[in-house]
Chains A and B, each alone.
Chain A
Amino acid sequence: MSDFLKLVGIKKSFGGVQALKGIELAVGQNEILCLVGENGSGKSTLIKIISGDLKPDSGELWISGRMYKQLRPIQSLNLGIRVIYQDFALFPNLTVAENIAYSQLVETQDRLVNWREIREIAARAVELVQADLDLNEVVGNLSVANQQMTAICRALTRDTRFLILDEPTSALTKKEIDRLLQVVRDLQAKGIAVMFVSHKLNEVLAIAERVAVLRDGELVATLDREEATNERLVELMSGTRVTYSRYEAKPSNEPPLLEVKDLSKRNCFQDISFSLRRGEILGITGLLGSGRTELALALFGIDPADRGQIVVDHQPIKIRTVKDAIKAGIGYVPEDRLTQGLVLKKSVGENIAAVIIDRLRGWLGLIDNRAWNAAVERWIDELAIRVTSPEVKAQTLSGGNQQRVVLAKWLASLPKILILDNATAGIDVAAKSGIHQIIRRMARQGIGIILISDEIPEVVNNCSRILIMRKGRIAAEVETADVTEAEVQQLVELTEPRGKGEGMVASSL
């Protein structure tokens, strides 16, 4: 079998950063190749070179036996290369139909626009992956999962020969992921080559035929499926071994830091009561739609609850707006950093200082530059954010590093309570464990942490207690000392809403 794509000695640097240091890689004509590597190892950069988004400094791209020094985006498209980017690259002001049909429109070079044709193209693509999308909705109004589906549909409208997915699953639920993986296998069966980038090694192992590992811009190995194991990959990616260790909060008899009583919001969650002590990491897990994100949004004032009581440090408080929450010392790290957590066009420094800006004011209310720099530097250090300087725009950071910036922003505000909502999604294994260490350290310093996650190992290993939510209620509460990961997994699955729940999640795509 000949190769669809062969890369020879691809190099690329940004200013001082050498993002790719001579990559040699081949992808067979209908092969599924997975690309893994830590945050900032150069995965997205490599993809952008294949898609023509970036020009390599040197090296050759061989596509179907022809050599190119560099590709222009339109060339790459015409060669049948489709990329679904980490940030989707959709048009928020256009409808789903137009977004899906756009690349085909560009290809046909027609000067006029036929709206019926646009709808037909879109409908066909949606049909192909059996997504349930409203073609007339404006993309800016869609949920992240639906935006992702839109991006996937768009990639399938034309004669696709090579599909590249850059972390396509970070915003999807388990079911949606399973369907996506199925779609990928179907595409392979139709003779399409696939390059799949993900931090979730279980997905990688489920779908890969070969796995290529990047580290610091170098291709350190390509493994066949049989040779690849979780441990091996992690070791190759990070150069070290990572093991999970459990966190134990020291027991204390202090009164709780946060008490929530009978908190309810119509159609979202009902009668939620729990308490959180200083230095405790409380896990909340449950399937998507169990109400956990909604609960977090309510505690942070984005979507306030209808009823119930919230007590922070013995003070009953009302949380109606985000400001109330911040005043009460609550911080929130969202799952969707791109729209909720980060201002992409601003510098890393400005992003980090955003919440604490008032504290950095000195004489006459002017920003105290020295304090500003000190704070920013400190948090860049603490979270080991890879940047050449705090001045660089958040946009240029790799996805995982962006997430660290969001985390830094909230940690810098020294909150009493920090809510992390799937905050480590899209972060590589080593970085994740780094972030867990940070969370633990913060907890030991007396912050109360609520860790919302659908990764069972993450909650079991980091939390002292876990709440399991189902249909908007707390279905179970366990002490992690008493349970194994498998048992928690079982509890979560047991609490899955049956019948209609399945239909609902699927149709919500």
Chain B
Amino acid sequence: MRKLLKQTEFYLALVILLLSILITMYNPRFLSAENIFDLLKSFSVMGIMAVGVLFVLILGGTPDVSFTAIAQVAEYVVVIMTLRWGGNILLAFLTASLIGGVLGRLNGCLVNMFRVPTIIITIATSNIFFGLLYVFSQGQVIYVIHPLFRRFSEIRIGNLVSQHGVYFGLSLMPLIWLVVLILGWFVLNYTRMGRDIYAIGGSELAAERVGIPVRRTKLFVFTFVGVLAGIAAVVHAAIVQSAIPNSLVGQELDVIAAVFLGGASVFGGAGTILGTFLGILLLAVVNNGLTLLGVSSYWYNIFVGAVIVISITISAVQRIRQKKTRVKVQVDSEGWRV
């Protein structure tokens, strides 16, 4: 419990709470179940991708930026495939994950092959994936997609009626997000793979020395990112009911910002699922709040930028402070206190 006060998650939750109160005071609609369900639904795409980004950031340092391009490719391909051959939603998820997994794995191979920061490699691959998508799709927007996506998106849990007499309920999308969160949490905390990821983030050299399969772990992480991008792609297609080749691109910064916000560090080895969830939630609340208050959405971009700068500063400062306390601890442990 004492640790609670030291944790990023605690402060993040506090900020979200305060913001929510503030927004509700100006516009009570914010706290309505309808609005909240909507919010969760529209942020589940980012939320799912954020889990992958968290894994990469724990692994060490710079983020993967190609996951939106991967999702874009997976989305487009799956939409076209279902249009042509039909199928069901499960198949769509499987195919998208497979495509995502393959592209992610490619990133992993390149990261293992060249000792260059992840961000550099993924900027390159992101351009390649995106470029290829444009070449093949010729930038064509598909407005009518297979009805299976609509059916899927209309599944609702609970049947409530809003003030305006509209029926609504919790969509499946946030539940998929929840499953991904739980999966990520389990992997990070209760599997060797997860602990290996933290260990490599802490010290790659030390990881190699205790015999952790560093390259294999990296390959897994990048594949995982790709798979999640694939899942997010289907969720996205179901939500927007179309396939637009550039609809996701540009969101990677928001996702990365959220993960940093949630306590991931540019130095690697840190970050939690809960923090990541809260990070996304904060972005969602800010985004929604600005809309409800009628403030220009450009402020949201400014906010995201500021978040990145501030989180990086915080992790740098923490690192410095940790070094300082180390000196202190040494003093204490040298037998001075009675």
Q: Which residues of A contact B (CB under 8 A)?
A: 51, 53, 73-74, 77, 83, 85, 88-94, 98, 102-103, 105-107, 110-113, 140-146, 154, 267-268, 288-289, 291, 293-294, 297, 302-303, 339-340, 472, 497, 500-501, 504-505, 507-508
- B193-215 contacts to A, CB under 8 A, are 193-195, 198-199, 201-203, 205-212
**Which residues of chain B come closer than 8 Å to A294, judged between CB atoms?**
331
Are B326 and A143 touching (Cβ within 8 A)? yes
Are A289 and B269 touching (Cβ within 8 A)? no
Are A141 and B326 touching (Cβ within 8 A)? yes
CB distance from B189 to the nearest CB of A (A): 7
Are B190 and A268 touching (Cβ within 8 A)? no
Are A141 and B269 touching (Cβ within 8 A)? no
Are A74 and B211 touching (Cβ within 8 A)? yes
**Which residues of chain B come closer than 8 Å to A507, judged between CB atoms?**
335
Q: Which 3 A-B pairs have the closest CB atoms?
A: A504-B335, A91-B202, A93-B269
Alpha-carbon gap, A146 to B326, bound state (A): 11
CB distance from A492 to the nearest CB of B (A): 16
Q: Does B150 contact A (CB under 8 A)?
A: no
**Do A112 and B335 contact each other (CB < 8 Å), given the known contacts A73-B208, A73-B211, A91-B199?**
no
Q: Which residues of B contact A (CB under 8 A)?
A: 189-195, 198-199, 201-203, 205-212, 269-270, 322-331, 333-338
**Which residues of chain B come closer than 8 Å to A497, judged between CB atoms?**
335
22 A-B pairs, CB-CB below 8 angstroms? A53-B209, A73-B211, A74-B211, A77-B210, A89-B203, A91-B199, A91-B207, A98-B195, A102-B195, A103-B210, A110-B192, A113-B192, A143-B329, A143-B333, A143-B334, A144-B330, A268-B336, A289-B334, A303-B327, A472-B336, A497-B335, A505-B334
Q: Which of B211, B328, B337 has the most CB of A within 10 A?
A: B211
Are A112 and B191 touching (Cβ within 8 A)? yes
Closest to A109 in B: B192
Closest to B212 in A: A106
Closest to B335 in A: A504
**Which residues of chain A come closer than 8 Å to B192, judged between CB atoms?**
105-106, 110-113
**Which residues of chain B come closer than 8 Å to A107, judged between CB atoms?**
211
Are A143 and B336 touching (Cβ within 8 A)? no
**Which residues of chain B come closer than 8 Å to A340, judged between CB atoms?**
323, 327
Are A140 and B326 touching (Cβ within 8 A)? yes
CB distance from B21 to the nearest CB of A (A): 34
Are A505 and B335 touching (Cβ within 8 A)? yes
Are A289 and B335 touching (Cβ within 8 A)? yes
Are B333 and A501 touching (Cβ within 8 A)? no
CB distance from B135 to the nearest CB of A (A): 40
**Which residues of chain B come closer than 8 Å to A142, judged between CB atoms?**
326, 329
Alpha-carbon gap, A288 to B331, bound state (A): 10
Partner of B322, one of A74, A140, A146, A505: A140
